[in-house]
Amino acid sequence: MSGLVRVLGLILGGGQSSRMGADKALVDFGGKPMAAHVAATMHELGAVEVMLGGAAPGVGAALGLAVATEPKPGFGPMSGLAAGMTAARRTSPPFDIVVVCPCDTPAVAVHDLRVLVDCLDDPGIDVACFGTSRGLEPLISAWRPETCASAIADAIAAGRGAVRDVIGQLRHIICGADNELTLANINTTNDLRSALTTTVRHSKGIVARPSVEEPS
């Protein structure tokens, strides 16, 4: 990743957090909120700014992070993603890349995010995300706002909320994770207990598949 590339970190809020019983962004994970772990990783990556998309009232203030204004609150991750794209393009100078993570992925590693950003060194790639044994992980991803913002806005206008479908319309690459535990979401208290007692060993590299999938 070139030092001249401006990266915005976007942390997506946890929706209703009904299975957790509390706002996942603020749930304690090893001494600090889950979203704070994600923010620290994004800063370590080199993000110029980290902000929240889709956060409940008061969460931004509690974490010391700005909140991007959603175009359609309650529409799920797509609306938070759109908020980040708008914020990235309105900044002067605009951000070149938006790195996205859910607030409930506190184990995400710097090398996980770096491989996504490095994929966008290729000007023919609009978005990079991970594929795992569970399928596509569209919410841990890196986006080029200049080429992706309109597709996201069009999906919201049409009432389509599946982020994976938008990725399919764009020039994208799917990366393989060397340790899927670093990408795991924590949705329930059982997930939280399991994650806190599991040693997540971050290995050094993630290998991106060389093929590029063209828009469908």
Q: Is the confidence at residue 215, as pLDDT, over 80?
A: no
Residue in this structure with the two tokens 């044994």, named with its chain if needed: 133
Assessment of whether the complete model's pTM goes beyond 0.75: yes
Give the residue from 178, 180, 173, 176 showing the smallest Cα distance to 128.
Answer: 173
- pLDDT tens readout for residues 99-137: 999 999 998 999 999 999 999 999 999 999 999 988 899
Q: pLDDT value at position 198? A: 67
User: Which domains does the chain possess?
Assistant: 7-197 (3.90.550.10)
Q: pLDDT value at position 88? A: 97
Confidence of residue 85 (pLDDT cuts 50, 70, 90): very high
Confidence of residue 20 (pLDDT cuts 50, 70, 90): low
The larger pLDDT score, comparing residue 80 to residue 17, is at: 80
Q: Do residues 17 and 45 touch, judged by C-beta distance below 8 A?
A: no
Mean pLDDT of 166-177: 95
d(C-alpha 56, C-alpha 126), whole Å = 29
